[in-house]
Amino acid sequence: MGGLRTTLARPVTREGIGLHTGQPVKVHLRPRAFHDGRVFVRTDRSELTEVKANFECVCDTTKVACLRSPQATIVTVEYLLAALAVLKIDDLTIEIDGPEMPILDGSAAPWIEALEAAGRRSTSANRRSLRVVKPFVVKDGIRSMTWLPAEQFCLDVQVGFPGHNRSSERWSGPVTPGVFSRELAPARTFGFESEQALLRRRGLIRGASWGANAILLRDDQSVAPARLRFADEVVRNKALEALGDIALLEVPIIGKLQIIEGCHAFHIRALRQWLSAQDVWAWAEYATTHAVR
């Protein structure tokens, strides 16, 4: 988890439509010379507006991860942030010409492909990590998040779909770049058939295309499209979303996280409580002169 901080070796561009706005958007990922994290820049404004990808900028988390500065808002950032965190790309400028990140195929796989094509290069600053040193639990009704000491970052996610006629699902394992790329990044966003009319009335999911960039969970327990990428694709997508929220810490975690019935709002509250309990975690920093391979 230690080593030198990294940025991209070269710029890369992706474009698509927003899941909720339905608006076309183009994103340029550019190497960043400063050691100040991942920074979004709204290029569609008369003055360039920066929004940092950290807890201080989190706003509405009803259905997506949302970041805000005094001048601008950016939503649906979780899939890119998850990919950046797992690949340990610490410093990056993310230029976007609209209010919402493109949903692409509904997963983080296109972002992994783009980032691997761009490559990484080391900077001169050391990367720090947060090590879990004591067990810690946050509960809120049926939801819970538990931190446990471990020698590497592991995730255990369970979802039971309360209020919906679906069987519970669970995914557990170490979160390495290889595991993430194979087992979590391809998992697509999803929605329930019983909720789509309400979401559309609220002005959401205007860019959703069932089968093209999202999975529709029908009331009879069938799905659209009929062919899933994984039998438990839904819980894998929930794990992916959790990683995007955890990325707002701006540093890697060394430890195991167990999440039951998580959602964006709960993840953020729980992570903030964990950070406030400073006796349960400790900084870990490693000096090295080895470049990224």
For the chain, the first-to-last Cα distance in angstroms comes to: 14
The yes-or-no answer on residue 264 being catalytic is: yes
DSSP string, the chain: --SEEEEESS-EEEEEEBTTT--EEEEEEEE-SSSS-EEEEETTSSS-EEEESSGGGB---SSS-EEE-SS-EEE--HHHHHHHHHTT---EEEEESSSB-B-TTSSSHHHHHHHHHH-EEEEEEEPEEEEE-S-EEEEETTEEEEEE--SS-EEEEEE--TTSS---EEEEEE--HHHIIIIITTPPPEEEGGGHHHHHHTT--TT--BTTTBEEE-TTS-EESSS-SSTTHHHHHHHHHHHHHHGGGSS-EESEEEEES--HHHHHHHHHHHHH-GGGEEEEE----PPP-
Q: Which of 28, 264, 267, 290 is catalytic?
A: 264
What's the token pair of residue 88?
């340990």
How many angstroms separate the CA atoms of 75 and 217, rounded?
Answer: 23
How many angstroms separate the CA atoms of 172 and 157, rounded?
Answer: 6
What's the token pair of residue 216?
């529709």
Longest dimension (CA), the chain: 56
Active site residues: 264
